[in-house]
Amino acid sequence: MSLRKISVTLVVGLCLNFAYNSWAQDAYYQDKAGAVPLWYSSEKLVVKFTESGGSEMGSALASDPAFDLSRLPEQTMHGFYVAWLVQGTNVAAALERLDTNQYFEIANPIYLDAADTTGLVSFDRVSVKFLENVSRLTIDSLNAYWNVTVVDSITGILNFYVLKVSKNTGRSVLEIANIYEQDSHTEFAIPDFLANIQAEYVVNPICQDTFRLLFVCGFGSQILLDFCNPKPNGGSSGCNLLPTLLV
């Protein structure tokens, strides 16, 4: 029996074109297969305010000359805001200043790779898939060493965790992703960029309905999740209940 599918594409966050900060790369994602060059957008930063900065957002933005005070920041995920930069801002220098600014918990560039002109927006989280034979004790020891915490996991995928980076970590989200990506205990590690989500509603004779989500996470990484509601008069045999990694 053929499946009837209704497909729709959802885009989380802002789909805007971003300008390169310079032609020379500003950073790298250290993929196991080789380094991926990245550029900083010269238009915006992604920032998370401290408690005092959040209550005095105008003062926080005015505390650094990088921000364009004529344009309001745009709220996004996990308490972060996308803030506009003054034209001609040295992004690397701004990030260095904001690292010690009392009003800001975290400040990240918006990254561009050679194939992406819409921008890779990162927050304070890194998705890490440890090898299946790695114990939770080893995982906890690594996380404690690098001063990151587990904030989420995916049911059905062994040793897949979302790690949170804070100001106390002392390293950026990209740096932590690179450290874990190069670690011999991991299958992969990627920053939690804003993702394109493709959603399908699938009808078949076994499941009452299945909802499928395909997350395209950046650098070509993908995670496929199928959710099945079994029919009232039978089990769910034959339904794909577990997420599938398509990295």
- Read off the pTM: 0.71
Domain made up of 27-116: CATH architecture: 2-Layer Sandwich (3.30)
pLDDT tens track for 13-37: 333 344 444 456 888 888 888 888 8
Task: Please state, in angstroms and rounded to a whole number, the distance separating the CA atoms of residues 207 and 231.
Answer: 6
Candidate from 47-51, 83-87, 195-199 with smallest mean pLDDT? 195-199
Q: Check pLDDT > 50 for residue 102.
A: yes
pLDDT of residue 23: 56
pLDDT tens track for 40-75: 999 999 999 998 777 789 999 999 999 999 999 999
CB 173 within 8 A of CB 125: yes
pLDDT of residue 218: 52
Model confidence band, residue 193 (pLDDT cutoffs 50, 70, 90): confident
Candidate from 22-26, 87-91, 147-151, 236-240 with smallest mean pLDDT? 236-240
Q: Check pLDDT > 80 for residue 108.
A: yes
Model confidence band, residue 240 (pLDDT cutoffs 50, 70, 90): very low
Which phi-psi region, left, alpha or beta, contains residue 54 (left: φ > 0; alpha: ψ -120 to 50)? alpha
Which phi-psi region, left, alpha or beta, contains residue 107 (left: φ > 0; alpha: ψ -120 to 50)? beta
Average pLDDT, the chain: 75
pLDDT of residue 209: 47
Ranges of each domain in the chain: 27-116, 125-191, 196-245
The residue that leads in pLDDT, 225 or 137, is 137
Average pLDDT over residues 157-173: 90
